[in-house]
Amino acid sequence: MTTILITGGCGFIGSNYARYVSRHHPEYKMIVLDKLTYAGNPENISDLKNNPNFSFIKGDICDEKLITEIVPKVDYIVNFAAETHVDRSISEPDAFIKTDIFGTHNILEAVRNSSNVKRFLQISTDEVYGSILEGSFREDDPLEPSSPYSASKAGADLMCLAYWTTYKTPILITRSSNNYGPYQYPEKVIPLFVTNLIENKQVPLYGDGLNVRDWLYVEDNCVGIDLILHEGKLGEIYNIGAGEEVTNLELTHLLLEMLDKPKSMIRPVEDRKGHDRRYSVDCSKLRSLGWKPLADFKESIKQTVAWYQANRAWWEPLKSGEFKEYYKKQYRQMV
């Protein structure tokens, strides 16, 4: 029986991917390992708990003993576990270096010392390339990360590539653009703005709002991840993006329109430090494996908005406690 280990599977993309695996590979034994930080929520995968092939371990990828015990028992590993919020990396970078670099290295060491693991897929980000004003980054372009978050992800990527070059550790890397969809922690721009607007609160728009992001529906990312895990070439990097580039201002206007709110709900705030102007990735390498994004941007945003409208019980508790304190410090308003 094939066993897959999904680390960080209680977060946004990891939980969507765990659900994807249960649908598309029901015969796989699936282990979700997650530290359950503020961003990890067991509710995100509560529908999987009655599946006899599913098990959950509360654990830290930095825990050498635990990782050394689990890794030799699995065939595939997909590492989503990470600290992921750029703003938090600017105020408190330590946890990013620990989890994103040291934790990934811990898994790499365990994979290197196990003959069982066939493929270790590291989930990275397009942010490792830095900003690009024109054109799109290819997988062999140099890395120029701007934030402590993207620098820690770049460090993990380089470590994976070094393990491939030095030990032939069977790694693969995906670098995707910004994802949206259900179960995204409400500190990230789309769920933050949607839930604020549902609550009739203003939305904090950074700087002039003209930063460009390429939005990828999480389900399309899951399809790409799964294809790369099974059919990607070992030692290789694959970009994943939908080519749906919009400015933050355009995105905000779209959300206001969908929720029938006036433009006065926008509250301009001081720009993020080191804010990358534009991200863009060339996905021809992944497209040559047969992948293409299926989601229609406006329709999928609409479905995402509808999901947050229908699931207040999921996000309301997340916007209290620690979140509220953090948010108050960050913007000193709108709480």
Ligand X SMILES: NC(=O)c1ccc[n+]([C@@H]2O[C@H](COP(=O)([O-])OP(=O)(O)OC[C@H]3O[C@@H](n4cnc5c(N)ncnc54)[C@H](O)[C@@H]3O)[C@@H](O)[C@H]2O)c1
Q: Which residues have a catalytic role annotated?
A: 126-127, 149
Residue selected from 89, 125, 239, 248 as contacting ligand X according to rule CB under 6 A: 125
Cα within 13 Å of Cα(165), Cβ side: 6
308 binds ligand X (CB under 6 A): no
Bridge-based pairing of strands 119-125 and 171-176 is: parallel
301 binds ligand X (CB under 6 A): no
Residue 129 or 163: which CB sits closer to ligand X?
129
- Shortest Cβ distance from residue 262 to ligand X (Å)? 28
Query: Beta partners for 33?
Result: 7, 57
89's tokens: 């990396």
Residue type at 116 in one-letter notation: N
How far, in Å, CA of 5 to CA of 101, rounded?
19
Residues in the chain: 335
Residue 164 or 279: which CB sits closer to ligand X?
279
Residue selected from 19, 35, 105, 119 as contacting ligand X according to rule CB under 6 A: 35
Residue 202 or 303: which CB sits closer to ligand X?
303
**What does the H/E/C string look like for 113-171?**
CCCCCCEEEEEEEHHHHCCCCCCCECCCCCCCCCCHHHHHHHHHHHHHHHHHHHHCCCE
Residue type at 187 in one-letter notation: E
Handedness of CA 295, 124, 253, 197 (dihedral sign): positive
34 binds ligand X (CB under 6 A): yes
90 binds ligand X (CB under 6 A): no
- Shortest Cβ distance from residue 15 to ligand X (Å)? 8
How far, in Å, CA of 220 to CA of 176, rounded?
10
110 binds ligand X (CB under 6 A): no
- Shortest Cβ distance from residue 174 to ligand X (Å)? 8
Residue selected from 5, 30, 39, 107 as contacting ligand X according to rule CB under 6 A: 39
- Shortest Cβ distance from residue 100 to ligand X (Å)? 7
Query: Cα 286–287–292 angle (5° rounding)?
Result: 110
Residue 228 or 265: which CB sits closer to ligand X?
228
Between the alpha carbon of residue 190 and those of residues 56, 185, 249, 255, 262, the distances in Å are 28, 10, 12, 8, 17
Task: State the CB neighbour count (10 A cutoff) for residue 154.
Answer: 22
84 binds ligand X (CB under 6 A): yes
138's tokens: 């290819």
Task: State the CB neighbour count (10 A cutoff) for residue 85.
Answer: 18
Q: At what angle do helices 189-198 and 297-310 cross, to 10 degrees?
A: 50
The window from 76-84, 140-148, 278-286, 310-318 that contacts ligand X (CB under 6 A) reads 76-84
Query: Restricting to residues 144-163, which ones interact with ligand X according to CB under 6 A?
Result: 153
- Shortest Cβ distance from residue 16 to ligand X (Å)? 8
- Shortest Cβ distance from residue 162 to ligand X (Å)? 19
Residue 57 or 202: which CB sits closer to ligand X?
57
Query: Restricting to residues 179-208, which ones interact with ligand X according to CB under 6 A?
Result: 179, 185
Residue nearest ligand X (C-beta atom): 11
Query: Could you tell me which of 265, 306, 283 has the C-alpha nearest to residue 214?
Result: 283
Residue 81 or 117: which CB sits closer to ligand X?
81
**Residues near ligand X, by CB under 6 A:** 7-8, 10-14, 34-37, 39-40, 60-62, 80-84, 99, 103, 123, 125, 153, 176, 178-179, 185
